[in-house]
Amino acid sequence: MRRVSRAPRAKALAVAIAVAAAGFTLSACGNPTTKVDGCSGTAPEVVSAISQKLHPNVGRLRNTHQFAKGTGGITFITAELHDPDKGQAHAQRHDKGDLLTWSTTDIKGGQFKSVDEHARTESSWPGAPFDVRKKGAYESRACTDISRGKTKAQIKCEQDQLDANAPALPGNKDCGDL
């Protein structure tokens, strides 16, 4: 009786599993079709409370948004972690940082849980019993992803340019130059 090698079939199965896992993982990071109704900015006090448990020298949080619509009482807060010491002066302002997501059931209570891998490794907030696949986490991340890599001046400029009466920027400049 002739033996048939199962190695090619095993390799094909391993590749299929790896591709499926990568697709699932990436889908949790961002999707341009995610609706961001229900997003709001995050109060400075909340950002400050979360920042207190960031590990030293990892950077600072910016472009922070929260989402609580239809989440069963959980508020998700996502911020871009920006490292101001990285890169050259102009490029560093526009570098895209990692997205970090935390959750809380009491936004004013000052107790948060780390939802994603970056929040768990870059801060000392305890891990949440769920990940970014939980309803609301993904939406929170999409809210922040819109502003990722942008400065406050750039975001304000983009908002101002939506107004038909807004003055044009001088010369060949656009909001990305701010």
CA angle 107, 108, 113 (to 5 degrees): 45
Q: Give tens-digit pLDDT for 58-104.
A: 999 999 999 999 999 999 999 999 876 655 444 466 778 899 999 99
Question: Which residues of the chain register pLDDT less than 50?
Answer: 1-32, 88-91
Q: Check if the beta carbon of residue 122 is closer than 8 Å to that of residue 58.
A: yes
d(CA 68, CA 80): 18
Closest CA to 144 of 73, 82, 66, 44: 66
CA angle 52, 126, 130 (to 5 degrees): 130
